[in-house]
Structure formats: structure tokens, C-alpha cells
Amino acid sequence: MSHTAFVSIGDLRRGKAAPGRVVEAAAGGCSTRGAAGKASCGSSAGPDDMPPAIWEKVKNHPCYSEEAHHHYARMHVAVAPACNIQCNYCNRKYDCSNESRPGVVSQKLTPDQAVKKVLAVASEIPQMTVLGIAGPGDALANPARTFETFRRLNEHAPDIKLCLSTNGLALPQYVDEICRYDIDHVTITINMVDPVVGAKIHPWIFWDHRRVTGLEAAQILHEQQMKGLEMLTSRGVLTKINSVLIPGINDAHLIDVNREVKKRGAFLHNIMPLISEPEHGTVFGLAGQRGPSAQELKAVQDACAGGANLMRHCRQCRADAVGLLGEDRSDEFTLDRIDRMEVVYDLDRRRAYQDKVERERQAQHQAKVDALAEAGNADAPDDGMRVLVAVATEGHGKVNQHFGHATEFQIYEVGARSAVFVGHRRVDLYCRGGYGEDEQLPSIVHAIGDCHAVLVSKIGACPRDELTAAGIEPVDRYAHEFIERAVLDWFSHYRQRVARGAIVHQPRGDARIRQGAYCGGTGVAAA
Ligand code: CLF
Ligand code: SF4
């Protein structure tokens, strides 16, 4: 597609983009898998990849474990309205963009209301295992409200993992308090390790009772972030680093960020695309700063292979999100609805339900391992050919969604012996009220334009034709099969067709990352 620029890893390392060049993804690192088919690292890692104490912390955290996010839910409470820095991709009318898509407004809560809401959600959604405070400003710029909420939840909901997200400026002074309330997971947004880069992203900070600007501000922010990260690591708190990828400003630099945070013990690195629209009213949006294309994002993530493990399933949630990642049930838990609910926080019932979820997750995990092991033992040589395949799924690890019902597609990178989840693409719903919205089709095609095929449980004639014309093969013969098995089998047939000359293998182009507010129809206002 001509509207997107391509950028290679070499160009990224040299700090420049190269329009017109197609990226060859780096093999190995976080995306590689062992012979047994298990993940070697990254958020796809399993119990054999880490010490048991760490596995306990991540196994049912939907952000720290890619597999867990299909089964376990998180919720956020928006108790932290103020912020102590300015980011050029943020408009304070909306939620903190470090953990949410710009343009989203959450309902602000007092700690009292927040605790009530968490207990109500926990009684209705027993697989909700994590409570996060991620804004709408910065959690640590509102320490009294943040820690009062955590203190009370630590007491009243002991089985819920506590999670905090911060820009890091005030982090060092609150590490003791973070440990006091057993907050085992902390996200720090780190967009730079060089204040010269930082000054282009963060124009000022509020520090020592005054506003500090420019290089001095970026230098202080950088030092506080690094110090806070080191302190958390030394105390055994798991850290995830969020970085917003801003083309032309910190794209190549994020490779250095990845290396530096790994050195300081970060558990995961989540590189998120800048979402930049003029209507969001941010400095970057108004200045026309664009976000990355799908391949540009993937190129930076792939270039970080071998560094800090990567998270690739982030959905850029809102500050009052409730539910599985990718779904939002916050509308079901407004304050007036909670007032009418009978809240019974039944620990035994929650544990029993989670045991059931865990058994289902293990069965799916085994199916995935088996499919990958089978592919690993196959006779076909791995000639290095890799393609991307989009999958429509409602969960359970299966190809089980109608094309028209998909609001996002999971993306797998498939080779002769490997099938690796590399991200997802949000799209607008094609099918509404029983008929297809043909004007949505071009945007869906653009969102998966770098894929060779899309696997769905069913698809109508019109989208089938349009996808085929765009060079994306619509495939519905794997309905209700496990994803890894399906994509590997499809790829094996693809290679056979190429080998006998029935089709010619051609590299695909790039894909667009969805910028605007979601307008699907599942109750999500904007995400
Ligand atoms: Fe929330 Fe963040 Fe904790 Fe997760 S989200 S505070 S670590 S519980 Fe998760 Fe949402 Fe991405 Fe954040 S998908 S935006 S990474
Ligand atoms: Fe906005 Fe979050 Fe940055 Fe504060 S830290 S300016 S709330 S994006």
C-alpha cells in the first residue's frame, strides 16, 4: 500500500526510516520457540521458562502472560486524576495515554467508590484477577487516593493481584509503600533513555514545587525512572515498561530503551503505537505527528529480540476498563448499577471458578504445544519462509468467529515449524444487525493488509471477494479448530501450492494501525 512508509531494522538502528523498503523480520529472540514448541521468553512464556515464584505472579495476570489474557480479566479504577508531567501525546481532558488510547474519558472515583466497585465486579466476574490503577492521570501523582484504595483492597480482596501504572517521576519515593501493600506489578512508561529524545516528548515536569522544562526536565524524569526501576527490581516487584513508539522521534531509540530496562531487571517491555489524531487535541496530533504502521511497529519489536521480553497483546485500555483485554464491560458497573447490586465477595466460589478456568487453559496450552511439536517433527525443511496470518477468534484458543463479527484479528507469524502470536489489529465491525457494512471493508482490508490469509469460522460472499482481490486468502475450513494447528496446516498447504507452481509466493505490504475511536457495537464507547 502506497500510503505507508516501510522501515528496516538496519535503518532503525541508524536512526532513520527508509520509505519503499520492505522489512524482513528478525528471526529468533522473543519470538522464537524451542523444539518442544514452547515459548522461550516474552509474555508467551510458560511455567518452565521461569522460577515458580515468578510464575505464580504472572500466570493469571492478563498483561504479564499472553496466554492468561484469553482467560483472566483485569479491571481499573480511575482514582488518580492529577498528573505531574506533560506528554506531547496527551490531552488532559482525557485519560492518561500511557495506558489507554487517546480520546477516552473515564468516570472518576473516590477510594470508597473504587473499593465498592472492585468487590462488585469480583462477585460478578470470578475470573477477574487483577486490579490496576492507571489514571486517568498518574497513580503516584495522587498517592493518598491510590494507596488508600490499594490498602483497603489488600485487606478486603486478598486474592486479587494489585497493579500500578506510573510515569515514574515520583516512583522512588513510593517504593516502600508499593511493597507495604503487596503491589507485585508496576508499569513504568519509559519513552527514552536520552534526555535529548525525552525533551521532544515530555515538555515539562512538576518537580520540587515548580515547573521544570526542556532538557533539565527530561534529565530528571530519566533519572527518576531508572532509579525507580532499579529499586523495584531489588525488592522483587515485577516491572513492565510501556513505551510509546513515535516515528522519527524514538523509533530506533526504543532499542536502546529495551536494552537499558533489561539491564535494570524489567520483566516485560510493551512497545505501543502512538495514536495521534488532530481531534484528540494533543501537541503531536495538532502538529501532524503520525503514528507507526503495523510493520513499523513490528520491526521495532522484532529488533528488540534478545533484549527485555516483549508484550505484544496490549489493548491500550481505558482508566476504568473492566473485563478481558479487548472487551470492556465498564458500562455494566456504573455507580448507580453497583448501588442496586447485591455484592457477595465469596472467596471459595472465586477460587473454584478459577480452578475451572485454569484446567481449560491448561488443555488449550497442551493443544498448542502438541500442534507445534508435530510441526517441529514434520519432514518439511524450514526454508525460512514466514508469512502473517490473521485469525478471527472469540477465545478458547480456536478459530471460532465469523468474519463479520470480528472487532479485532489476532496476527500469527507462521513458518514451517513455528506459529507465533505477534499482535492484534482492531477493526470496525463488518456485520451489523444481520447485514454487512460494505463501506467498512476497505478499512478491514487495510488493517490486515500485510497478511497472506485470514482464518474465520464463516464468511460471506462479498467480503470473500474483496479480500481475495486484495491478495488475502479467506479461509473458513478450520472453523472451531485450535489456532496453532489451523495456521500451521494452512501454511503447509500454502507451501505445497507454491512448490507445485499453483500459486506464486509474494511478500505482502504493510498494514494500518487503527487510529480513530472504535465504533463497533459491543458497548465500547471508545478504545
Ligand atoms: Fe492494567 Fe496495566 Fe496493570 Fe494491565 S493494563 S495497570 S498492567 S492490569 Fe495491560 Fe491495558 Fe495494555 Fe496496560 S492491556 S494498557 S498493558
Ligand atoms: Fe498524560 Fe499520562 Fe503523560 Fe500524565 S503521564 S501527561 S496523564 S499521558
Mutational pocket test of ligand 2: of 96, 192, 225, the residue with most ligand atoms within 8 Å of the beta carbon: 96
- C-alpha grid cell for residue 180? 507495604
Residue nearest to atom 6 of ligand 1 (CA): 132
Q: How far is the CA of 131 from the centre of ligand 1 (A)?
A: 10
pLDDT of 70: 87
Cα–Cα distance measured from residue 159 to residue 126, given in angstroms and rounded to the nearest whole number = 11
Cis amide leading into 273 (omega within 30): no
Please write the tens of the pLDDT for every residue from 31-87: 222 222 333 345 667 777 788 888 888 988 999 998 888 889 999 999 999 999 999
Q: What distance in angstroms lies between residue 500's CA and the mean position of ligand 1's atoms?
A: 46
Could you read off the pLDDT of 408-459 as tens digits, one per residue?
Answer: 999 999 998 889 999 999 888 777 666 666 667 888 899 999 999 999 999 9
Question: What are the cell numbers at 391?
Answer: 485469525
Write the secondary structure of 288-311 as one string of H (helix), E (strand) and C (coil). CCCCCCHHHHHHHHHHCCCCCCEE
Cα separation, 449 vs 162, whole angstroms: 38
Ligand 2 centroid–CA 344 distance in Å is 35
The low-confidence residues of the chain, meaning pLDDT below 50, are 1-41, 517-527
For residues 231 and 238, what is the distance between their CA atoms, to the nearest angstrom? 11
Residues within a 6 A CB radius of ligand 2: 83, 85-87, 90, 96-98, 137-138, 167
91 CA from centroid of ligand 1 (Å): 20
Q: Kindly list the domain boundaries of the chain, sorted by start residue.
A: 10-340, 379-526
Does domain 10-340 fall under CATH 3.20.20.70? My reply is yes
Which of 273, 252, 244, 246 minimizes the C-alpha distance to 513? 273
Single-letter amino acid code for the residue at 33? R
Q: For residue 62, give the ligand nearest its CA.
A: 1
Which of 500-514 are b and which e, b meaning 16 or more Cβ less than 10 Å from the residue's Cβ? eeeeeeeebbbbbbb
How many Cβ atoms are within 10 Å of 223's Cβ, its own excluded?
A: 14
Task: Point out the ligand nearest to the CA of residue 100.
Answer: 1
Residues with CB under 6 A from ligand 1: 63, 74, 76, 99, 130, 132, 134, 163, 165, 185, 187, 240, 270, 314-317, 325
pTM assigned to the model = 0.86
Mutate to test the pocket of ligand 2, among 76, 87, 104, 272 (most ligand atoms within 8 A of CB): 87
Grid cell, residue 236, equals 522483587
Measured distance CA(43)–CA(36) in Å, rounded: 17
Q: Does domain 379-526 have CATH number 1.10.3720.10?
A: no
Q: How many CA atoms lie within 13 A of 379 on its CB side?
A: 1
Distance CA 275, CA 426 (A): 13
Task: Using the atom order of ligand 1, give the atom closest to the CA of residue 272.
Answer: 11
CA 310 – ligand 1 centroid, Å: 14
Contact 98, 242 (CB under 8 A): yes
